[in-house]
Amino acid sequence: MIESIKNKIASVVLKRLINSRPTKEISFNNFFEKAERILLIMPVDDNDLRYAASVIQFLRASAKELSVFIAEHRVSLMGNLKDINYITFGLDDFTKLKLPSPRLKNLLVEKSFDIVIDLNGAPDRFFNAVAAYSNSEISVGCKAPNSDVFYNFQIPKEINTKKTYENLLNSLNMF
C-alpha cells in the first residue's frame, strides 16, 4: 500500500519535471557528430555491465568528453581509464521515493551534457530521473512502456544485451 503511494507520488514528481522543460523541435541531423559532452548511465545488471565496455570504447574513440554515471562500488570494475569523468552514486543518493538525492540532482543540473545514453534495459525511475535532470537535448534509452517521456531516441531492447548495444552503436554511427 505505502509502496504504491510512493510510486504515484514519484510519478507525479517526474511528470512535473518533464512538463516543466521547454518543448522545442529537435534535429537529429548529425546529433552525435556535433555533440561534445556525453553522459553514459551504466547498467545495474552485472551481465549488461560486461557488454557496456564496447560502448565505452566507441565513445572514447569518438573523442567526446565522456562522463560515466555508475554506482560507487562498481568504479573499480572500470579499470584505470583516466580520460573518463565519473559521477558516482551510493545508497545515500536515493530518496524515499527512489529518486536522485538533492546533491545528485544539483550535480546533474550543474553539468551540461549534449547527449545522455542510458544503458539500462529495464525501466527504472531513478535512472529516468537522472536522464531528465541532466537537461540534455538528446536522451537515448531502450524502448519500454512510457519510455518516450524520458528518451527521445529509443533503441529496441533485444533478448541479447550485446545485440542491443551493437544496435545502439550502429545507430550512433549513422548520425
> Domain locations in the chain?
2-22+29-174
Q: Give residue for cell 512538463.
A: 19
Q: Is the pLDDT confidence value at 37 over 80? A: yes
Q: Give residue for cell 552485472.
A: 46
Measured in Å, how far apart are the chain's first and last C-alpha atoms?
46
Give the pairing of strands 84-89 and 115-118. Answer: unpaired
CA–CA distance, 64 with 57 (Å, rounded to integer): 11
**pLDDT-derived band of residue 22, with 50, 70 and 90 as boundaries?**
low
Reported as a single tens digit per residue, the pLDDT across 112-132 is 899 999 999 888 889 999 998
Among 4-8, 15-19, 58-62, the least confident range? 15-19
Reported as a single tens digit per residue, the pLDDT across 69-97 is 999 999 888 777 788 899 999 999 999 88
CATH of domain 2-22+29-174: 3.40.50.2000
φ, ψ of residue 142 in degrees (nearest 5): -80, 145
Q: Is the pLDDT confidence value at 172 over 90? A: no
Surface-to-core class of residue 32, CB atoms within 10 Å of its CB (0-12 exposed, 13-18 middle, 19+ buried): buried
Residue type, 40: L
Q: Which residue has the higher pLDDT, 5 or 99?
A: 99
